[in-house]
Structure 1
Amino acid sequence: MNKKSLLIKILPVLFGFFIMGFVDIIGIAINYIKVDFVELSDSVVNMLATSCFLWFLLFSVPTSMLMNKYGRKNIVLLSFIIQAIALGLIFLNYSYTSILIIFAVIGIGNTILQVALNPLVTDVVASNKLTGTLTLGQFVKAICSFTGPLLVSFFVLNNYEWKTIFIVYSVISLIGFIWLISTPIKENTENIKRVSFTSILRLLQDKRLLPFFIGILVLVSVDVSINITFPKFLLENNDIILTEAGLGNSVYFFARAAGALLGGILLMSISEVKFYRVSVWLALLGLILMLVFSHNVWLVLLSVGLFGLGYSNLFAIIFSLSMQKFPKKENEISAILIMGVSGGAILPPIIGKITDMTQNQSMGIITILIVWLYMVWLTKKIA
């Protein structure tokens, strides 16, 4: 495949990673919803994350089965349509119940997208470029995540509703659909076999895969929890307003974008295992410094930036290592690992309950730090 042909095929696929990043708006959205519905406690409002991320557990395996039947590209296209519709629904009825339902549909669309898009990358790049390309995809996703809070702040400061971001995302989803459907991609169907729920779930019995699955579970639970907790952590410890605190998430996602771009380059020549080890310790240092410098806005922003840098490439590394260990089961491995994204439904309600009980957002960061220790332990398993 020549460079021009590769570029034509890879660009709409990478644009899919941008659309994948829409789900990260849930963090700052929850903070604005908390303002709109002041009667809601942290534990109740954090249930919105559960309504979104629970579907990664329930829909990942069925999506893998649909991929085997209808193809990866078609399933990605389906996810774009689902997200475009769901993102536009928030303007029809704005209540806590309707938001729960809308976030659930967004979660279903994002589940389908994440399960199908990562294997689709294997149809447009060589296997020796997979880790770098997946990391580049995470860079594109992080750009979306970085710009989301900035756009919300822009809308609010210019007297638009913060929810305007959902209309923007809906239109972009439709653009992604048109771009991808018009791009010819030849899928590799040589190794695809008929699969069942049990055959996919049986893969979790493999001791090589289970630690990676739990790793994805932890990664996403920590990411969603930081996304939700960090603005409240800034508000509690510093004299700032929500629009300013929300920009803290942009610092986090900017660091992730920069780290993913750097990682996409370095991972073309550096061992994934070595890169993983440095990354998890850098992220741990960021969490510790966040707590140490909690009352200094600039230092705490620097700390969350360090965490973002460390975090930025871990998802792609785990995904790539897993696919390399099971080269003939990309669809099934993708389904199993994306089930781990349901971790985003688990930790936020727990942190919400802890912060409700203690009235201290620092306890949320401490909880995240404790959970992160699994990623440090995982360094022994990927060697």
Structure 2
Amino acid sequence: MHRKSTLLAMIIIGVLFFIFGFVTWLNGSLIPYLKVICHLNEFEALFVTFAFYIAYTVMALPMAVILEKTGYKKGMALGLLVMSLGALLFIPAALSGEFLVFLAALFTLGTGLTILQTASNPYIVLVGPIESAAMRISIMGLINKSAGVLAPLLFTAFILADIGFGVDLESINTQELAHKLIAPYMAMAGILFLLSCFVWFSSLPDVEFEDDPYDKANIFAFPRVVLGALALFFYVGIEVIAGDTIGLYGQTLGMPNATALTAYTMGFMVVGYLAGVFFIPKYLSQEKALVFSALFGIVFLFGVAFSSTTESHIITGLPDSVAFVAMLGLANALVWPTIWPLALKNLGKHTAKGSALLIMAIAGGAVVPLVFGKVVQLTQDMPMSYLIGIVCYAMILMYGVKWHKMTAWRKSWQK
């Protein structure tokens, strides 16, 4: 791309990453509300994340086909339009109070995001040297997670503006609480529609892919991509647990304004992305950043499980155990930025298919939190249940240590 085209692409993709973050991390605030409105337990409430993230797996390949037919720019505009429709579906959901209608709205939002994610991530990888791709994705991550910090704060402030902060949601009439969801999602629908028009009429250039240096028939012949998708599956799972269950955790401890706690996790992710922008690749390789992320994540999980739920010795002012959940955001921040360039390296014409496969791995955000919710339900011990995240970080660690080096299945397994 020419320099002017590259700058335009970065600006537009930056706006889209802000939208990704705002819509995605709004779920962490939404869950406690729907738990009250629809009379759900912790396991049932986490179907919010399931409906949203399963769309990435169900719709990734159909959306990839649409991208091939429409091109990236029109595909992104279509994705924003689908998201606008999903936001509008919250109106009948709130009016009826039916959980299934809420889930349909969330699935539609996830469908729109699928096409946006499939198109935007290869852009950021390919607009510059592959060695510094993690740094560019970290910049986008800063934009994304800054939106994630704002979303729960603005959402909570908007909903509770005329009720009062610190109020127990259980004490509010469920119909009144449900109706308060209508205005913010109507506003979101309008903004998404305007952005769709903006992208459609913009001069955003399409990405051109070179031929790949390997003569391989399909994307599954690249172990680096397949195993990257596996690692991302578990990463998104633990990322969603860290961001979307912290509010539930705070609610079980009786913390005021628990619906805003997602902002703490996003805040730590912003710190992690800043570290990525500063250290990668000048001081820290993408591979080492991935390894350190996994190790820190395991340490923080033990902090969640074995620290106090009442005392606070960490700068957040939260109970220690809750603070460690938020700090998982720091461990998670550089996983997505480092796996993408490592997985897409030298894919050439297979890059689009590789991107679609990696996007499908976002289904981890649907499955892993449900497993977490079931463990909480069975054990009645939420802090200890977070230890299932060790499996997630083990997979990330394996990719950082070995799997990203694999160029062929047979040769790699014989070593």
Specify if TM > 0.5.
yes
The alpha carbon displacement at 1:209 in A equals 2.2
Correspondence for 1:247 among 260, 264, 268? 260
CA–CA distance in 1 between the matches of 2:126 and 2:390? 37
1:105 matched to 2:134? The reply is: no
Tell me which stretches of 4 or more aligned residues in structure 1 moved more than 6 Å. Answer: none
CA–CA distance in 2 between the matches of 1:126 and 1:70? 27
Which residue matches 1:196? none
CA–CA distance in 2 between the matches of 1:228 and 1:294? 21
The alpha carbon displacement at 1:2 in A equals 7.1
The alpha carbon displacement at 1:256 in A equals 0.7
The alpha carbon displacement at 1:341 in A equals 0.3
**How does 1:63-102 map onto structure 2 within 5 Å?**
63-94=63-94, 95-102=98-105
* Alpha-carbon spacing, 1:150–1:265, altered in 2? closer, same or farther (3 Å): same
CA–CA distance in 2 between the matches of 1:102 and 1:192? 39
* Alpha-carbon spacing, 1:167–1:143, altered in 2? closer, same or farther (3 Å): farther
* Alpha-carbon spacing, 1:103–1:92, altered in 2? closer, same or farther (3 Å): same
Residue type of the alignment partner of 1:317:
T
Secondary structure of 2:240 counterpart: helix
CA–CA distance in 2 between the matches of 1:306 and 1:100? 29
1:150 matched to 2:153? The reply is: yes
**How does 1:298-337 map onto structure 2 within 5 Å?**
298-337=319-358
2:304–2:384 contact (8 Å) kept in structure 1: no
In the superposition, the TM-score normalised over structure 1's length comes to 0.88
CA–CA distance in 2 between the matches of 1:367 and 1:128? 32
**How does 1:24-173 map onto structure 2 within 5 Å?**
24-38=25-39, 40-94=40-94, 95-121=98-124, 124-125=127-128, 127=130, 129-159=132-162, 161-162=180-181, 164-173=183-192
Secondary structure of 1:108 counterpart: helix
The alpha carbon displacement at 1:158 in A equals 0.6
CA–CA distance in 2 between the matches of 1:375 and 1:343? 13
The alpha carbon displacement at 1:358 in A equals 2.2
In the superposition, the TM-score normalised over structure 2's length comes to 0.82
* Alpha-carbon spacing, 1:150–1:319, altered in 2? closer, same or farther (3 Å): same
**CA deviation string 1:156-181 (max 9, x = no partner):** 33127255442343233234324333
Residue type of the alignment partner of 1:33:
L
Q: Which runs of 5+ in 2 are unaligned?
A: 164-179, 312-317, 406-415
* Alpha-carbon spacing, 1:170–1:96, altered in 2? closer, same or farther (3 Å): same
CA–CA distance in 2 between the matches of 1:20 and 1:147? 13
* Alpha-carbon spacing, 1:91–1:35, altered in 2? closer, same or farther (3 Å): same
CA–CA distance in 2 between the matches of 1:318 and 1:337? 9
1:291 matched to 2:305? The reply is: yes
**How does 1:196-207 map onto structure 2 within 5 Å?**
202-207=218-223
CA–CA distance in 2 between the matches of 1:279 and 1:233? 23
**CA deviation string 1:317-374 (max 9, x = no partner):** 1111111141332211100000100111111222222222222222431222343322
Which residue matches 1:276? 290
2:290–2:400 contact (8 Å) kept in structure 1: yes
Which residue matches 1:14? 14
Secondary structure of 1:187 counterpart: coil
* Alpha-carbon spacing, 1:133–1:175, altered in 2? closer, same or farther (3 Å): farther
CA–CA distance in 1 between the matches of 2:382 and 2:161? 29
CA–CA distance in 2 between the matches of 1:310 and 1:340? 19
Secondary structure of 1:159 counterpart: coil
Residue type of the alignment partner of 2:277:
G
* Alpha-carbon spacing, 1:119–1:105, altered in 2? closer, same or farther (3 Å): same
* Alpha-carbon spacing, 1:127–1:356, altered in 2? closer, same or farther (3 Å): closer
* Alpha-carbon spacing, 1:35–1:309, altered in 2? closer, same or farther (3 Å): same
1:63–1:116 contact (8 Å) kept in structure 2: no
Q: Which runs of 5+ in 1 are unaligned?
A: 194-198
CA–CA distance in 2 between the matches of 1:288 and 1:163? 39
Which residue matches 2:408? none
**Is the radius of gyration larger for structure 1 or structure 2?**
2
Residue type of the alignment partner of 1:208:
R
Q: Percent identity?
A: 19
1:229–1:365 contact (8 Å) kept in structure 2: no
CA–CA distance in 2 between the matches of 1:15 and 1:285? 34
- RMSD over aligned Cα atoms: 2.5
Correspondence for 1:227 among 243, 246, 249? 243
